[in-house]
Amino acid sequence: MKIYSVALVSLFGFLFGCGVKTLPTGDSSNGSQTKSNTVSILTYNIHHANPPSKPGVIDIDAIANVIKQQQPDLVALQEVDVHTNRSGTTMHEAEEIARLAGMKAFFAKAIDYGGGEYGVAILSKFPMENLRNISLPTDDNTKGEHRTLAMATIVLPHNKKFVFACTHLDAQHDDVNRQMQIKKIIEVAKDESLPVVIAGDLNALPTSDVIKQLDGVFTRTCVGDCPFTIPEKNPNRTIDYIAFAPASTFSILSHAVVDESYASDHRPVKAILQLR
């Protein structure tokens, strides 16, 4: 019976798999295990949950609803307020969004801000281990805002693991800090024994030197004719990305930018990956 099942799966793979580059190439004929190695990832710069059309308003429900509609397994959030005056001194945005979306949160502070903290966060439906907040370099002469890299080891069913990282690079016109920051991220990734998926707002166009450095190590989930991610209405450029390394560790099943123009000044980016 086992030999028959393997032969049947191989036959279907031959008949229907040809020419479809993004289909999974898993090493098991067990359908449930293949599904358990599929991961849906969303990256979203949430503009501290302030809809651009409503200055001063904090709409956590709007952000959470966007996430719930997409049903991701993992979310990389940028521009997250925790106990700040502008978003509410009792409001921990990462934890509240995670609660509403049915996930767990790990917040990584980048700076002190407005009586509280400001940074990035990882939301996960899977167990998380080895949570880390790694400070990224900034040239003090530029007076740039300090940035950070949040990292968590994600534990999938069948105990398969990979590292998920979230970041938000410097936003200044000159890319001095972004260059330093992407180099640090690459150094950290190269030291990892597990596969690494990074997601976030890199504040860099696909043609920039920053993304060329990223591409030297990571594989982006979209590299040609990719939908734009900013601004929220009539977007005209891409600065939000999902990527992984080494290239052999994942298959890309899909990549999309969510058509959402109310909750933030960025559109969310979603990719579905298959861990090989």
- List the one residue out of 135, 132, 186 whose CA is nearest residue 154: 132
Q: Band the pLDDT of 33: cuts 50, 70, 90.
A: low
The answer to whether 99 and 92 have CB atoms below 8 angstroms apart is no
Q: What are the structural domain ranges in the chain? A: 1-36, 39-275
104-148 pLDDT, tens digit per residue, is 999 999 999 999 999 999 999 999 999 999 999 999 999 999 999
**Which pLDDT score, from 0 to 100, does residue 36 have?**
79
Count of CB atoms within 10 A of residue 26's CB? Answer: 17
Q: Band the pLDDT of 43: cuts 50, 70, 90.
A: very high
The answer to whether 67 and 93 have CB atoms below 8 angstroms apart is no
- For residue 139, give the H/E element and its range: none
**5-23 average pLDDT score:** 36
**91-105 average pLDDT score:** 98
Residues whose CB is less than 8 angstroms from the CB of residue 53 and which lie 6 or more positions away in sequence, other chains included:
262
Residue type, position 16, single letter: F
39-275: what CATH class? alpha beta
The answer to whether 227 and 255 have CB atoms below 8 angstroms apart is no
Residues whose CB is less than 8 angstroms from the CB of residue 215 and which lie 6 or more positions away in sequence, other chains included:
223
Quote the CA–CA distance of 55 and 227 in Å, as a whole number: 27
**Which pLDDT score, from 0 to 100, does residue 34 have?**
64
Cα angle, residue 116 at apex, residues 269 and 112 outer, rounded to 5°: 80
- Decide: helix, strand or coil at residue 1: coil
Q: Judge if the upstream peptide bond of residue 235 is cis by omega within 30 degrees of 0.
A: no
**1-18 average pLDDT score:** 38
- List the one residue out of 268, 270, 245 whose CA is nearest residue 163: 245
Residues whose CB is less than 8 angstroms from the CB of residue 209 and which lie 6 or more positions away in sequence, other chains included:
175, 179
The two counts, helices (H) then strands (E), for the chain are 6, 12
- Decide: helix, strand or coil at residue 182: helix
**Which pLDDT score, from 0 to 100, does residue 152 have?**
98
Q: How far apart are the first and last CA of the chain?
A: 25
Quote the CA–CA distance of 74 and 63 in Å, as a whole number: 15
Quote the CA–CA distance of 75 and 124 in Å, as a whole number: 7
Q: What is the DSSP letter of 237?
A: B
